[in-house]
């Protein structure tokens, strides 16, 4: 369901089932979710790296070989949040894989 007018949802919605449109909307959502910050949250970042304390610890835990689930449990965050944060870190590093992100993070002294 997509609102016809997001500013006035009383105008109705479209029921979209075309796979191409649904996939495009899903990609748009995933991109927005990957860079999202919880409403009202403050992101205290290290000025040198741009990493939050949680992101730095996540990199450390994943570098030790922990799974997303195990790292998330240690940090008290959901698996989806772990994946979202790693996608954000990878984007900032210009990495296309987690392995490459680990190498680049180490080269930059983030670990």
Summarised one tens digit per residue, pLDDT across range 28-67 is 888 777 666 666 655 555 666 678 888 889 988 988 888 8
CA distance linking residue 29 with residue 31, whole number of Å: 5
Same structural domain, 57 and 97:
yes
Same structural domain, 103 and 59:
yes
Same structural domain, 64 and 22:
no
Q: Provide the percentage of residues in the chain whose pLDDT is more than 90.
A: 20
Query: What single-letter DSSP state applies at residue 13?
Result: E
- What's the pLDDT at 12? 92
Same structural domain, 30 and 57:
no
Sign, CA torsion 99/38/108/59: negative
Range of the domain at 84: 53-107
Q: How many domains does the chain contain in total?
A: 2
- Is residue 13 left, alpha or beta, with left meaning phi > 0 and alpha meaning psi from -120 to 50? beta
């Amino acid at each position: 369901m997509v609102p016809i007018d997001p500013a006035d949802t009383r105008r109705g919605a479209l029921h979209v089932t075309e796979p191409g449109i649904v996939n495009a909307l899903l990609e748009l959502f995933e991109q927005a979710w990957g860079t999202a910050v919880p409403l009202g949250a403050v992101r205290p970042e290290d000025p040198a790296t741009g990493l939050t304390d949680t992101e730095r610890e996540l990199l450390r835990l994943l570098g030790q070989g922990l799974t997303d689930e195990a790292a998330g449990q240690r940090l008290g965050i959901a698996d989806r949040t772990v994946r979202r944060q790693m996608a954000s870190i990878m984007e900032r590093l210009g990495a296309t894989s987690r392995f490459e992100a680990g190498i680049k993070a180490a080269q930059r002294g983030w670990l």
